[in-house]
Amino acid sequence: MPHTEPPANPNADRRHWMSVLARADDTAIEEGLAACGDIPVYTRMRGPECGLVMVRGRAGGGGDPFNLGEMSVTRCTVRTDSGLVGHAYLAGRHERRAELAALADALLQDPARAPALHAALIEPLARQQQARRSSTAAKAAATKVEFFTMRTLQS
């Protein structure tokens, strides 16, 4: 799935894979990592730990900000034995998924491992997520009611 970030942004690729990992389930991440060979030794630097963040909204989409409510978030930071550091922040309380996403983030920063991980992990997950979004959009579109279908007759 191509992303629409401008190529001048050096973090565009990382943003893309982090958004894909944040929406994937832990089994899919684990299987994708295993498909790319041995998982290196890594240590947890922070977490995984769960907490709350305040979600803010804007009146009318662009007006004054207001506190919408709190949501649970899980974060984790890991360091591989080669010194690469990966981070993950996910919605919900998913400690194992946060740890695997942080590990995948670290490994995707390694130029030697990145192509295989993109092919075995990121691209299949992105396609699955896009298919789910398309299916949901199609179901919603099927229930859409057009109220302005009448036209006036001219004499």
What pLDDT digit, counting tens, does each position of 19-38 carry?
A: 999 999 889 999 888 888 88
Q: Helices 12-23 and 95-108 meet at what angle, rounded to 10?
A: 150
Residue pair 32/114 in contact by the 8 Å Cβ criterion: no
- CA distance linking residue 92 with residue 74, whole number of Å: 6
Residues 6+ apart with CB under 8 A from 15: 3, 5, 9
User: Which tokens is 81 given?
Assistant: 């034995």
Residue pair 97/30 in contact by the 8 Å Cβ criterion: no
- CA distance linking residue 155 with residue 151, whole number of Å: 13
Q: Which residue has the tokens 């899919």?
A: 28
- CA distance linking residue 29 with residue 60, whole number of Å: 37
Q: Which of 14, 43, 18, 41 is nearest to 101 (CA)?
A: 18
Mean residue pLDDT across the chain: 87
Top-confidence residue, 152 or 140: 140
pLDDT tens-digit series, residues 70-89: 999 999 999 999 999 999 99
List phi, psi (to 5°) of 13.
-65, -45
Q: What is the pTM of this model?
A: 0.78
Q: Which of 123, 128, 80, 130 is nearest to 105 (CA)?
A: 80
- Would the pLDDT of 42 be above 70? yes
